A and B are shown apart, each in its own frame.
Chain A
Amino acid sequence: NAGVMQNPRHLVRRRGQEARLRCSPMKGHSHVYWYRQLPEEGLKFMVYLQKENIIDESGMPKERFSAEFPKEGPSILRIQQVVRGDSAAYFCASSVLQGMGQSNEKLFFGSGTQLSVL
């Protein structure tokens, strides 16, 4: 059973370009979470999605960032017009049941995408 797959592993973008980060959850998981780790910081929640629905995007910057989890295919985190401050490691996680304050489900994490903005 393949784990959570993220790609690319490393992504380099120039300021003003777009970044697209992909995440395929574990088989049988329909709940996807995106977390970001800025340098010297802990993992910070960005967004929680179920298939075709954004459930909680309270951690997502209001501008330039968007996320989707279509009926078919991976979840996508999209950052438009990237700036240097977007440089971070972006982690995707999935769970079987909805979380977190409604169940004691653990998260299964991918290996992350390291975004570097030049």
Chain B
Amino acid sequence: ILNVEQSPQSLHVQEGDSTNFTCSFPSSNFYALHWYRWETAKSPEALFVMTLNGDEKKKGRISATLNTKEGYSYLYIKGSQPEDSATYLCAFSGAGSYQLTFGKGTKLSVIP
């Protein structure tokens, strides 16, 4: 059974603070690591798909890094805004597999 762990489970930050959270995943048979943003009452929306060790991706104030050798990825949000409030999911894709294995997510609340 694949284990994808995300920490912390939830996080409250003040508007303007920068924050980061972690996704850990199996380091063997790795193919890709996905990050999704899931706002309440909406559908999960893809942020990044990363495949290479050392990969760094950026989208506006959000960025992510990937370490496949040790099996972790960090998601960073610079200068958090209330509209960043959402649950952030990471998902592991193994080589040759058709499925994503999701973590339980980190729920971010940005306080104005």
Contact = CB atoms under 8 A, between A and B. Distances in A.
Tell me, yes or no, whether A binds B: yes
Interface of A: 3-4, 33, 35, 41-45, 48, 55-56, 58-59, 91, 98-102, 104-112
Interface in B52-75: none
6 contacts: A45-B99, A56-B99, A58-B99, A101-B31, A106-B34, A110-B43
A45 B104 contact: no
A86 to B, nearest CB: 20
A106 B94 contact: no
Size category, B interface: 20 to 34
B31 A100 contact: yes
Nearest to A3: B43
B40 to A, nearest CB: 11
B97 A100 contact: yes
Contacts of B4: 42
Nearest to B49: A104
Interface of B: 4, 31-32, 34, 36, 41-46, 49, 51, 89, 91, 93-105
Contacts of A108: 46
A100 B93 contact: yes
Contacts of A111: 41-43
Q: Most B CB atoms within 10 A — which of A42, A91, A111?
A: A42
A104 B46 contact: no
